Amino acid sequence: MVPADVYAAPGQGGRGGWTWYTGSAGWMQRAGVESILGLRIEGGALCLEPCIPRSWPRFEIMLRHGASRYEIVVENPQGVQRGVAAAELNGATITVRPLSVPLKDDGAVHRLQVRLG
């Protein structure tokens, strides 16, 4: 649950309330996926522009698109917060920046490797 407000009144500090709001968890998930991990779907393309803490060495995402699966691995060897230095889809280099990959519903597993830097 995600509280809508966190109290600061004496004796109530840190307690959360209004956890029954139906949209709060959905908005929190969307904020994490779109704003931190940087994953968006725009016009039939997977767009990826992460903005992560420097301390994250990597993260992984699995995305289903119809019958297809996209396995995304983002490496952060230089400890940066943002900036795609290199990307490959199924072993082929992607030079498009910002990173945009047309989505296919072909039933295959597609592997997207991204290196920040």
Banded model confidence at residue 18, pLDDT cuts 50, 70, 90: low
Average pLDDT over residues 19-32: 75
Tokens of 9: 């009144």
pLDDT at 104: 97
Find residue 82's DSSP bridge partners. Answer: 51
Q: How far is C-alpha 79 from the chain's CA centre?
A: 17
Residue type, 81: Q
Give the total residue count for the chain: 117
Banded model confidence at residue 45, pLDDT cuts 50, 70, 90: very high
pLDDT tens sequence across 47-101:
999 999 999 999 999 999 999 999 999 999 999 999 999 999 999 999 989 999 9
State the pTM of this model.
Answer: 0.81
pLDDT at 37: 96
Q: Where do the domains of the chain lie?
A: 1-36, 43-116
CATH (residue range 43-116): 2.60.420.10
**d(C-alpha 56, C-alpha 73), whole Å:** 12
Nearest to 39 by CA among 67, 59, 68, 66: 59
